[in-house]
Amino acid sequence: MRRNDKSNKSMKHLTTSIKNNNPIAPDFYELAFSWDPGNGIPTPGRFLTIRVSESAVPLLRRPFAFSGYDPTTQTATVIYQRRGPATDMLAAKTARDTLDIVGPLGNGFPVPSAGTPCLLVGGGVGLGPVLFLARDLESKGFPVTFVAGFRTRAMVPSPATFNGTHVAVCTDDGTAGFAGTTVDYLETLSTETTKGAVVFCCGPTPMLKGCHEYAQRRGLRCRVSMEQVMACGVGACMGCVVKVKQKPGYARVCKEGPVFESGDLLWE
């Protein structure tokens, strides 16, 4: 397994100001905030933690993956889902409010060798990092197939969110785009198209497992960005471990991850 203990050495604790915090789909928001490149360059798959309130509740910082970074305007973004106390508070913040951030954290998605076809799969709160990766790989000239899964048409973000990046939308109920899961969509791709490809994915664990199994069937490499509930976010508490094949049998998502080679993980 690829260890990356250098990953968090560049992290900073900083206060930054919000530029926008806009809804993009029911319960989903895009948060844009100032990011001085001196704090480290956000790259796809890396994340930050936000302390949403100075009060004791919620006490813990919450992790969110970068969904973009524009060096010209020095603006970073995160796409998040409102699903509990911290994200409720985050959704109530407005432009010019400040954010207490620690980041950039984690290892991020590795860049494949030049010309490698890339199959990108995002779903749920995993949409942001995969969208960031799609834009980044496209700008570097990689052949990219970007697939995003949603429950139903109403959950598909507005086209402005994708901003020209081509995406194959899949819905579970068939109300928009391809009818079926993202893995069902991958199965429709010819073996010619997927030959030598690397699969990159972030989203719900069943989707990650499905992508891993798809990659195994087709003999492809697969990188998954894992989500675990985090306490410290910097490698100290062991609260975010996932089971891996190599000794010692576990790895910290915040420190060795969040991106892992899917074949290194123990899937249950």
Ligand X SMILES: Cc1cc2nc3c(=O)[nH]c(=O)nc-3n(C[C@H](O)[C@H](O)[C@H](O)COP(=O)(O)OP(=O)(O)OC[C@H]3O[C@@H](n4cnc5c(N)ncnc54)[C@H](O)[C@@H]3O)c2cc1C
Single residue of 197, 230, 244, 251 touching ligand FES by CB under 6 A:
230
**Residue 143 contacts residue 118 (beta carbons within 8 Å):** yes
**Per DSSP, what are the bridge partners of residue 121?**
147, 201
CA distances from 259 to 36, 62, 100, 116, 168 (A): 24, 18, 24, 18, 23
Count the site residues for ligand X by CB under 6 A: 23
| Ramachandran angles phi, psi of 81, nearest 5° | -105, 135
Q: Interface with ligand X includes 13 (CB under 6 A)?
A: no
Single residue of 1, 18, 25, 232 touching ligand FES by CB under 6 A:
232
Cis check for the bond before 44: say yes or no (omega within 30 of 0). Answer: no
Q: Of the two residues 89 and 189, which places its CB atom closer to ligand X in the complex? A: 89
Task: Classify 242 in phi/psi space as left (phi over 0), alpha (psi -120 to 50) or beta.
Answer: beta
Q: Of the two residues 124 and 210, which places its CB atom closer to ligand X in the complex? A: 124
Q: Interface with ligand X includes 83 (CB under 6 A)?
A: yes
Residue 224, token pair as written in the block:
């998954």
Biggest CA–CA distance in the chain, Å, is: 55
Residue 34, token pair as written in the block:
């100032």
Q: Indicate which of ligand X, ligand FES, none lies near residue 237 (CB less than 5 to 8 Å, by partner kind).
A: ligand FES
Of residues 244-263, those binding ligand FES (CB under 6 A): 252, 254
Residue 72, token pair as written in the block:
């010209």
HSE at residue 264, side-chain half, CA atoms within 13 A, is 23
Of residues 223-242, those binding ligand X (CB under 6 A): 227-230
Tell me the pairing of strands 75-81 and 68-70: antiparallel
**Residue 250 contacts residue 259 (beta carbons within 8 Å):** no
Mark the segment that binds ligand FES (CB under 6 A) among 23-31, 33-41, 71-79, 228-236: 228-236
Mark the segment that binds ligand FES (CB under 6 A) among 12-20, 110-118, 192-200, 226-234: 226-234
Q: Of the two residues 83 and 140, which places its CB atom closer to ligand X in the complex? A: 83
Give how far the C-alpha of residue 164 lies from the chain's centroid of Cα atoms, to the nearest Å. 19
Q: Indicate which of ligand FES, ligand X, none lies near residue 63 (CB less than 5 to 8 Å, by partner kind).
A: ligand X
Q: Of the two residues 135 and 252, which places its CB atom closer to ligand FES in the complex? A: 252
Single residue of 40, 42, 44, 63 touching ligand X by CB under 6 A:
63
Mark the segment that binds ligand X (CB under 6 A) among 74-82, 115-123, 178-186, 244-252: 74-82
Single residue of 84, 143, 174, 196 touching ligand X by CB under 6 A:
84
CA distances from 1 to 72, 105, 165, 219, 247 (A): 36, 19, 32, 18, 10
Q: Interface with ligand X includes 53 (CB under 6 A)?
A: no
- Which parts of this chain interact with ligand FES (CB under 6 A)? 230-233, 235-240, 252, 254
- Which parts of this chain interact with ligand X (CB under 6 A)? 47, 58, 62-65, 78-81, 83-87, 125, 128, 227-230, 253, 258
